[in-house]
Amino acid sequence: MNWTDDPAGVEIRIVGEENEAALSRLGPDVSKTESIEGKLKELGIPPTLEHGDLDATNVFIRNGSPVLMDWSDACVSHPFFTPLTPAQARRHSEFVDTYLHEWTSYAPLENLRGGFQFAKPLAALESAFHYHRNIVPYLPYPYPDFMTLERYIPALLNMAAEALENVPEDE
């Protein structure tokens, strides 16, 4: 049987096309990432331990305090990358301000809000590259959630492209 006759093979080809479309959309604005990196550095926030997969499924309450689970994607990175996944991109401003308040010893809240917005495309790109390099290639085939994870990469690339499209040229 030809791989294109296999439903999984067809799915992989479709995801490949989705990746290509997302990369094409990203291309014109990718040069903005250097200036964004500079804006984040201006905040003076040092690299820190970054969870890499922080969402409601990885937070538990024990004795009234939050406990973070599943540190398998953890790394040292910019702390504004943690709360930026496609499923969580539309955070309520109250959540964002609560998260950013922990960094006000480095910069005023208003500056942190701006930095948080600037971090979106870099956070999405970092996640896409991480999944592309370190997660998907090592999954056994067939893997039950393979297509879900494969589709996550173009979703992240499109999130980055959308965020970069909203960054002014002079930033």
| Domain membership flag for residue 18 | yes
**pLDDT 10s digits, 39-97:** 889 999 999 998 887 777 888 999 999 898 999 888 898 888 876 554 555 556 777 88
Cα–Cα dist 124/10, whole Å: 26
| Side-chain-side CA neighbours of residue 147 (13 Å) | 10
Give the max Cα distance, the chain.
62
**CB contact at 8 A, 116 and 96:** yes
Cα–Cα dist 54/69, whole Å: 9
Cα–Cα dist 48/46, whole Å: 6
Cα–Cα dist 114/118, whole Å: 6
Q: What is the pTM of this model?
A: 0.73
Cα–Cα dist 83/85, whole Å: 6
Structure tokens at 126: 């970092």
Number of domains the chain contains: 1
The single-letter code of the amino acid at 164 is L
| Domain membership flag for residue 110 | yes
Is residue 152 classed exposed, middle or buried when 0-12, 13-18 and 19+ CB atoms within 10 A define those classes? buried
| Domain membership flag for residue 36 | yes
| Domain membership flag for residue 72 | no
* C-beta atoms surrounding 33 within 10 Å: 17
Domain of 87?
A: 3-47+79-165
| Domain membership flag for residue 53 | no
Does 11 or 61 have the greater pLDDT score? 61
**pLDDT 10s digits, 89-111:** 555 677 788 889 999 999 999 99
Q: Which residues pair with 60 in a beta bridge?
A: 67
| Domain membership flag for residue 138 | yes
| Domain membership flag for residue 20 | yes
- Mean pLDDT to the nearest integer, 6-15: 49
| Domain membership flag for residue 68 | no
